[in-house]
Amino acid sequence: MPDEKASPAPSEIVVEPAWHAAWLPDAALAAVGRRRVAVVGPAEDDVLVTVFREAERATAAHGGDVVDPDGAPDLLLDARAGGDGFRLVRDGGRVTVAAATATALLHGWFHVVRLGEAAFTGPDADERHAPAFALRVLDHWDNVDVHPVMGQVERGYAGGSIFYADGRVRDDLSRVTAYARLLAATGIDRVCINNVNVHAREARLLTDDLPEVARVAAALRPYGVRTHLAVSFAAPMTLGGLPTSDPLDDDVRAWWRAAADQVWATIPDFGGFVVKADSEGQPGPFAYGRDHADGANLLADAVAPHGGVVHWRAFVYDHTQDWRDRSTDRARAAYDHFAPLDGRFADNVVVQVKHGPIDFQTREAVSPVLAGMPATRLALELQVTQEYTGQQRHLCYLAPWWSENLGFRPWGEGGAAVRDVVAGRGPGASPAVAATGGGGIAAVSNVGDDVFWTGHPLAQANLYAFGRLAWDPTLDPAAVLDEWIGLTFAGQDGAVEPRVREVLHAVLDASWRTYESYTAPLGVGFMVRPGHHYGPDVDGYEYTPWGTYHFADRDGIGVDRTRANGTGFTGQYPAPWRDVYEDLATCPDELLLFFHHVPYTHVLRSGVTVVQHVYDTHFAGVERVREAIAAWESLDGRVPSDVDARVRERLAEQLRSAVEWRDQLNTYFFRKSGIPDTHGRTIF
């Protein structure tokens, strides 16, 4: 153990470069910055030095002071205590945050920052705070080179990569450290820095370019963020020159062990590998007659001596389907592939499961895989980047949707929720799964090198909310949004003007449902333009090899996934949902077309028909976008001019696109059904 001593002497404060401060402007540090702050712990710890520098920064900006621990500080940060997470004690206005590790102490520091004045003025308290999930990961779909089809960031809507430029790791990685600071403030502590679709150039990050990966890891490390890499299953062939990647081949196994040894020798705190295999053209164990457990365990064996983990994605389906074959159902695929393998994955393998069985749609059922593998560590995978939800050009605060998924109870009311399953506490969880704390949570990042990080300044709320829900999945999404507003739009005194807070809630709280209302209705999904997935194209995917999603004809619409007459997908759920979804009378309306093919005249619980629901919601959705524009414009002069200008630009595009969605969807349904709008509105 290093000697325990007061933290190092103050250093010069570094001026922040010219990118948006997101939820950590200096104004947000006002409450802590006015206090006397002391930091105690092993001075050799890089993250503890970061805590000290954070205290310096805050007090320098707001007139407080960094003092010796015996100098009667208002806030004592102590990295010498035991236990998970951190402990906060408030006694007569004096606050002590104690933790066993410097990273946990850093999370405690940012907790105090979030609380603001309430951290010091609240009633006396003794609280313990620990993350619900041990693994809280962001996956970046970044390419080193600019890919001719996918660009530099696949499904990225905020510019190029913050890690790579000109075909290599950036020389200046100061923005990566600033990004790690934002993540630490929400509780994220792991980042995979390259695309799960591992192209030839990105594959070399594992070997030839490992020293450059080490530079990225060094830029993330001061804020306690560990580095992961996405790797290609074919690496022993493409990088190692072997004739095979068969997971049971001795030479292949030796190659992976040597590769892992080199990675950890170069980056001792490396986290592990992320793998997309036998999916959408990526290589995998199927080529050798092996299964996903064989493939995942190959890598698990290689990283186990170093305490590493393997995130093996369950996004596996046939992407060369015949649209005329109604028995093939993409929704079934993940469960069909993975549930039979339950119990065969090594303890350091995490099977990463998309929240829905299709592909990050605006509305879909929760994946049954999350209830079907009790002897396997499962991670819930979300998508912060808004691939199917407006691509950071539309307002779409996703935390309410994520919260529904995390709180979904696959075994019915009173049973365990998804958040329990991925924390290792699901029914029937094996002792190994329970001991590891489950697989946690992961999400696809939404940042790029845009000055606002996320392109749309208000899309920052999604990244913030993911981190907070990863720490505590029971948080109220509206309260999380309020936190983000309080930090991001703080004035110099640390407070937010009430009108600003009111408007931001007005435009964001229900924005996901607004987006849903003018896009794909009733859980039908995928009515987007192929390839880039932006804007309406009702039949765009309907006759392609990627799947069939709505089966619209002159009489009705929807996919029959029942056991009685359809694909049998409902049978992958445990009771009671297998029966709730099976029965047209009990299936929730918001998922009606996901589970059933019904006539356009089918009456919903609201009392209107399916086709009238489409007309009504699409007209109403456009009006709600107009209301959001008017609300935002009422803030003229109350928010920074650069933020104001960018938001106005994005809102204008959202309105244009919403009108396009309204007119195309309504026209499509009118022409298919021949049923007019009961209100006589213009439909083309």
How many whole angstroms separate alpha carbon 458 and alpha carbon 79?
35
Residue 387 annotated as catalytic: yes
Cβ-contact 55, 37 below 8 angstroms: yes
Q: How far apart are CA 262 and CA 457, in angstroms?
A: 40
Helix (H) / strand (E) containing 226:
strand 226-230
Q: Is 359 a catalytic residue?
A: yes
Residue 1, exposed/middle/buried by CB under 10 A (0-12, 13-18, 19+)? exposed
Cα–Cα distance, 314 to 292 (Å, whole number) = 9
CA-CA distances (angstroms) from residue 212 to 22, 207, 435? Answer: 27, 10, 35
Report the alpha-carbon distance of residue 104 to residue 48 in Å, rounded.
Answer: 10
CA distances for 613 relative to 618, 621, 670, angstroms: 8, 12, 12
Coil, strand, or helix at residue 566?
Answer: coil
Contacts with 637 (C-beta within 8 Å, 6 or more apart), sequence order = none
Please say whether the dihedral angle defined by the alpha carbons of residues 265, 271, 277 and 279, taken in this order, is positive or negative.
Answer: negative
Residues 465-496 as b or e (16 or more Cβ within 10 Å = b): bbbbbbbebebebeebbbbbbbbbbbeeebbb
Rounded to whole angstroms, how far apart are CA atoms 192 and 231?
A: 10
Alpha carbon distance 346, 432 (integer Å) = 9
What is the crossing angle of helices 102-115 and 174-184, to 10°? 70
**Cα within 13 Å of Cα(279), Cβ side:** 20
Among 280, 322, 627, 642, the one annotated catalytic: 280
The amino acid sitting at 8 is: P
> What is d(CA 137, CA 350) in angstroms, rounded to the nearest whole number?
12
Tokens representing 648? 């106005």
User: Which of 309, 439, 433 shows the shortest CA–CA distance to 374?
Assistant: 433
Of 56, 359, 582, 616, catalytic: 359
Six-digit token pair at 546?
A: 């990627």
- CA distance linking residue 506 with residue 69, whole number of Å: 44
Distance separating alpha carbons of residues 444 and 49, to the nearest angstrom: 30
Rounded Cα–Cα distance for residues 592 and 364 (Å): 10
CA 265/CA 441 separation, integer angstroms: 27
Query: 424: helix, coil or strand?
Result: coil
Distance CA 147, CA 169 (A): 16
| Residue with tokens 């445990």, as numbered in its chain | 574
- Indicate which residue of 142, 387, 483, 560 is catalytic: 387
CA 122, chain centre distance (Å):
32
| Kind and range of the H or E run holding 165 | strand 164-165
Query: Quick one: how far is CA 227 from the chain centroid?
Result: 16
**What is the residue-wise DSSP string for 64-93?**
-EE--TTS--SEEEETT--SSSEEEEEETT
Residue 453 is given by DSSP the state: S
What residues are labeled active site? Answer: 280, 359, 387
